Structure 1
C-alpha cells in the first residue's frame, strides 16, 4: 500500500502549495503529473501491490476516503488559483490549470470510480459528490448501471465505435451516458411502489449539485472563478472520457444466437502494467479485472498479461496519443486486428 499512498499524496501536497505559493510550486506540481510519473514508470518495474490471501486491504479504503475528502478542498484551491484570486502570475495560473486538471482527471476520477462501487453508503455518496464537483455527477449512475452492463457492445455509449476518433467519441459518450443513465434511473424508480418523491431522484442531485458549485464559484471568485471552474472540470472530464476511449477501443463482445451478448471477459478491456502510473490511478489501468470483479478493492486487482490485452504504453501516455487520431490508429488498429484474428 505504501506506493499508493506516496504516488497520490505527493501531488496533493504540491498542488496545495502551488495554489498559494507561486510559479515554482506550480511548475513542480505540473512536472510531477506530466513528467515524473512517466520517469518512474520507466525506472521501477514490478507489481504495484501483491494480493493477500483474503484479497482485502483495509488501508485501501482509508486512502480512497481521504482522497475523496481532500478533493473537496483541492477543487476550491484550483478555482482560487486559476481565477487569480490567490495572486498568482498568468504563467503560474496556467501551470495550476494543467496540474490540477491532470490530478482531477487521473486521481480524483479514478478514486471516485473506486468509491461508487463500494457497498457502504458513505463511500458511495462521497464518490458521487466528487463526480458532482467535477460537473460529471451522472457518471455515478451511468457507469455501474449502463457501462458495466453493456460494455463492449453498441448499447454502451462509453465504448468507442470501430475506427471512431476520440473527437467523435467524447460528445456521443457524454450525452449518451447522461441520457441512458437517466433512463435507467427512471425505469428503476417507476418499478417502485409507492413511487418515491421527485426530489429524491439522483439526477436532481447531479444537476442541482453542479449548479450550486457553479453559483458558489461565481459568488466567491466572480466571473473569473466561474470560468476557471468550468475549464478545470471540463479538462478533468476529457481525461476521464479519453480513458474510457483507450480502455475499450476496438474491443467488442460477440452477439450470440440467442440474441444476447457473450459475458464480459478479460479480453474486453485494454490494460496497462506500468508501476507508478497505476499506483497514482489506484490501479485503474488494470481494467479487465475491474469489469470481471467490479467490487474488488483496487489493491487486489490482478493483471494477467497472457489473457488480458495490454497497451504498448501507460494509460496517460496512450490517452495523449488518442488526441492524434492518425497516429493512434497506426499504433492500435494492428493490435485490434491481431486480437480479432486470434478470437476467430
Structure 2
C-alpha cells in the first residue's frame, strides 16, 4: 500500500473509529438470504425464523454485553464525514440484498418443500428485513440528492409503506413531540393502541400534505410529480412482478411480511417520543425541536445495525445531518436499553410502563402538565 493511500486510510479511520462497522448494516437484509443455507447445514428448521431471533434475541444480548458508545465526531471533521461517499454506499448496498432476499423467499413460498410453519417463519424474517428497510429509506429520504430520494421510495416498496416518505419528512418532523403528531406516543398509551392510531393518522396526513404541495405547484392529484403515487407505484410493480413469477400463492406471505415491517417501524416510532412534549411559546406555537424531545440510546451494536437511528435526539434537532455525523447529547433523555430490547418491552404494556413511566416523569421533574398525556 502506497504512503498516500495509507495516509488517506488513516485519516478516515481517525475521523471515525467505527468507520468499517457500518458495513455490518448489510447483515440485517442478509437474514432473508441465509435461512435456507442455515437449515441445510444444521438441519434446524428454527433458522427459518432467523430474523426475529437475530433482532429480538441475539442483538439485545450482544448489545448488553458490548455496552454503550457515547463518543461524538469532532466538529472539525463534520464536513469530511458528511461528504465521504463511503457512508452513502453503506446504505445503498442494503437495497440489492433486500430484494434478492425477497425473491428467494418468493421462490420458497411458492414451493411445496416447506411446511406452513416454516413459511410463516420465513415471512416473519422478511418482515424484519422490511421494517429495517424502512429505516434505510428513512436515512435516504432525508437527503436532498435526487438519487437517494428515489432509492428511499424503492426501499419502502417491500412494505408498501410509501406514504412514509411524505409524512415523515413533512409531517412528523414538523409536529414531533406534540399531540398533533400521530407518530408521537402519549404517556400511558400502549403500543397496541398507538400502532393503529399512528398508521391511520400518518396515512391521512400524507394525503393532505401531498395534496397541498401539488396545489401550490398548480398540479392535480394524478400528476407525475405526486410523490405518493410514485412510491405506491413501485410497490404495485414489485408485488405484481412477484405474483407473475411465483403465483398468487405467495400473496398471504407478502402481505404478512409487509404488516410485520410496518408494525416494526411503528414500534420504533412509539419508543422514540413516548410521553415527550415540546413546550409552547407565548404566541401559542411550539418551540423548536431540541434534543430533549426524543429518546436517545448510545447502545453501540443496535446503532451500527440501524445507521444510528437511536441517536434520534440529534436527528430531530438537526435533521440534515447524515447518520455518521449524529451526536449524543447530555440534554436528551436516555433509554435504558437499545431499540432491540425496547421493542420487546413495548410489546408488553405493563412491563413497558414499569420501565418507562418513571423516566418520563423524571425528565419533566414530575410535572404532568409538561407531558404529552393520553387524551
Normalization by structure 2: what TM-score? 0.83
Cα deviation for residue 11 of structure 1 reads 4.1
- Change beyond 3 A, Cα 1:147–1:60: same
After superposition, give the CA deviation of every residue in 1:76-116 in whole Å (9 maximum; x if it has no partner): 233333x24383344543332233322332x3122110000
Q: Name which of 70, 73, 92 aligns with 2:100.
A: 73
Range moving further from structure 2, 278-287 or 200-209:
200-209
Of residues 39, 62, 66 in structure 2, which corresponds to 1:40? 62
Whether contact under 8 Å (2:30, 2:98) holds in the other structure is no
Q: Which residue does 2:32 correspond to in 1? A: 15
1:160 to 167, 185, 201: 185
1:335 Cα shift? Answer: 0.9
- The one of 35, 57, 77 equivalent to 1:54 is 77
Q: Secondary structure at the match of 2:270?
A: helix
Matched residues in 2 for 1:12 and 1:209: separation? 19
1:316 is aligned, of 321, 337, 340, to 340
* 2:360 equivalent in structure 1: 336
In the alignment, what sits opposite 2:125? 99
Partner of 1:150: 175
Residues 1-344 of structure 1 mapped to structure 2, 5 A cutoff: 1-6=19-24, 8-19=25-36, 22=39, 23=45, 26=48, 31-47=53-69, 51-52=73-74, 53-55=76-78, 56=81, 57-81=84-108, 83-85=109-111, 87-105=113-131, 107-193=132-218, 198-304=223-329, 306-341=330-365
1: distance between equivalents of 2:273 and 2:327? 18
**CA shift in 2, pair 1:47/1:112, >3 Å:** same
- CA drift of 1:193 comes to 4.2
CA apart distance, 1:273: 1.4
Write out per-residue CA displacement over residues 285-334 of structure 1, whole angstroms, 9 at most, x where no aligned residue.
11001101112111111112x31111111112111211111221122111
User: Is the CA contact (8 Å cut-off) linking 2:26 and 2:97 kept in structure 1?
Assistant: no
Contact between 1:14 and 1:29, CA under 8 Å: does it hold in 2? yes
The number of equivalent residue pairs is 340
Question: Which residue of structure 1 aligns with residue 3 of structure 2?
Answer: none
Question: CA, structure 1 residues 24+197, in 2 after alignment: closer, same or farther (shift >3 Å)?
Answer: closer
Asked if structure 2 preserves the Cα contact closer than 8 Å seen for 1:15 and 1:26, the reply is no
TM-score, normalised relative to structure 1: 0.90
Alpha carbons 2:185, 2:275 under 8 Å: kept? yes
Q: Which of the pair has more CA radius of gyration?
A: 2
TM-align CA RMSD:
2.4
The answer to whether the Cα contact below 8 Å between 1:321 and 1:328 also exists between their aligned partners in 2 is yes
Q: Structure 2: any 5+ residue segments left out of the alignment? A: 1-18, 40-44, 371-375
1:166 Cα deviation after fit: 1.3
CA contact 1:134–1:236 (8 Å) conserved in 2? yes
Q: Distance in 1 between matches of 2:185 and 2:179?
A: 9
Tell me the SS of whatever aligns to 1:118: coil
Mean Cα deviation higher: 50-59 or 317-326: 50-59
1:259 Cα deviation after fit: 1.4
Q: Is the 8 A contact 1:68 1:112 kept in 2?
A: no
Unaligned runs of 5+ in 1: none
